[in-house]
Amino acid sequence: MIIYTVFLFDTISAQYSFQNYPPPDYKTYDDWKVFDRISKKGKYDCTLTISDFFNNNDDLTIQLTWLEENVDIGEIRLFKNSNQIQQIKEPGSFSSITMSGTLAIVSDINGDGFKDVKLIHQGTGNGIMGMLVKVIYFFQKEDESFTKISFNDMMFEQNRLERDVDNDGSHEIITMNLKHVNDHNYWVFNVFEYCNGGLKNANEKENYPILIQYKHKRNYMITDHMDRSQMKAYELTLPDKYHAE
């Protein structure tokens, strides 16, 4: 049984400012098949098939693999129907404890007419570290191969939706990390966009980053302990543990 320590679904009763912008249409999938081969082959696989994924209605299957001999590197295999189309090494690997609880989200994130996939893989931390997740994007290209983008993030919700902050049809990615500043802890939100096979910072589109003070009760207000120009010191060039392939 997978236990999510602090995840809640995104709500509209109270919102961060970026939640005023439209998210993409999406579907979620979590019906992973587990293949525990640790005792015989030293690996643990989880496989998910998304039916009618490609524009010609072919299926996409994603296989995540944890390797006992190298716990710092995981493997990702992508299949079109039964044919493997890509094999990717994933720095940081996965947790065999929580892998089967990985959430898969399908949407056209960058608005190019091709479906993309987002995986949210929870770590094994407790307390506030239970909010730490690995996020993996598969951006589909015209030839039906994928660019993989992964990074570490922190989430209250089971999924933080992308938002089209400039109304151009491509949805930006919002990340969150925790910073200690002047005896206070703050959630720092940065904005990124996908272009030319990678992410780049897009804070200028919405005057980000923003800092929101961490409190025991959920807080949505941008702090008044500093002005927006001072918040620029906490801008990220790329998300934490960023990797593109």
Beta-bridge partners for 73: 91
Q: Do 161 and 103 meet the contact criterion of CB atoms below 8 Å apart?
A: no
pTM for this one? 0.92
- Computed over every residue of the chain, the mean pLDDT equals 93
Q: Is residue 216 a part of any domain in this protein?
A: yes
- Count Cβ atoms within 10 A of the Cβ of residue 8 and give its class: 0-12 exposed, 13-18 middle, 19 or more buried: exposed
Q: Is residue 146 a part of any domain in this protein?
A: yes
Beta strands in the chain (DSSP E): 27-29, 33-37, 43-50, 60-67, 73-80, 83-91, 103-107, 116-122, 132-140, 146-154, 173-181, 184-195, 198-201, 210-213, 243-244
Helix (H, G, I), strand (E, B) or coil at 111: coil
Query: For residue range 128-185, what is the model confidence (pLDDT) as tens digits?
Result: 888 999 999 999 999 999 999 999 999 998 899 999 999 999 999 999 999 999 999 9
Q: Is residue 1 a part of any domain in this protein?
A: no
Given a cut of 90, whether residue 3 has pLDDT beyond it is: no
Please give the single-letter amino acid code of residue 204: E
Distance CA 31, CA 185 (A): 37
Show the CA angle centred on residue 154, arms to residues 214 and 243, nearest 5°: 140
Using a pLDDT cut of 70, give the percent of the chain over it.
94
- Alpha-carbon Rg for the chain in angstroms: 18
Given a cut of 60, whether residue 4 has pLDDT beyond it is: no
- What's the DSSP call for residue 218? -
Strand order in the sheet with 103-107: 27-29, 103-107, 116-122, 132-140, 146-154, 243-244
Q: Is residue 54 a part of any domain in this protein?
A: yes
Q: Can you give the pLDDT at residue 47?
A: 98
Helix (H, G, I), strand (E, B) or coil at 57: coil
Distance CA 115, CA 110 (A): 9
Q: Can you give the pLDDT at residue 32?
A: 98
| Structural domain boundaries, residue 29 | 17-244
Q: Is residue 115 a part of any domain in this protein?
A: yes
Q: Is residue 186 a part of any domain in this protein?
A: yes
Q: Is residue 47 a part of any domain in this protein?
A: yes
Q: Is residue 91 a part of any domain in this protein?
A: yes
Query: For residue range 199-240, what is the model confidence (pLDDT) as tens digits?
Result: 999 999 999 999 999 998 999 999 999 999 999 999 999 999
Distance CA 173, CA 240 (A): 13
Domain count, the chain: 1
Cα-Cα-Cα-Cα dihedral sign, residues 22, 9, 237, 121: negative
Given a cut of 50, whether residue 81 has pLDDT beyond it is: yes
Q: Which two tokens stand for residue 31?
A: 């019906």
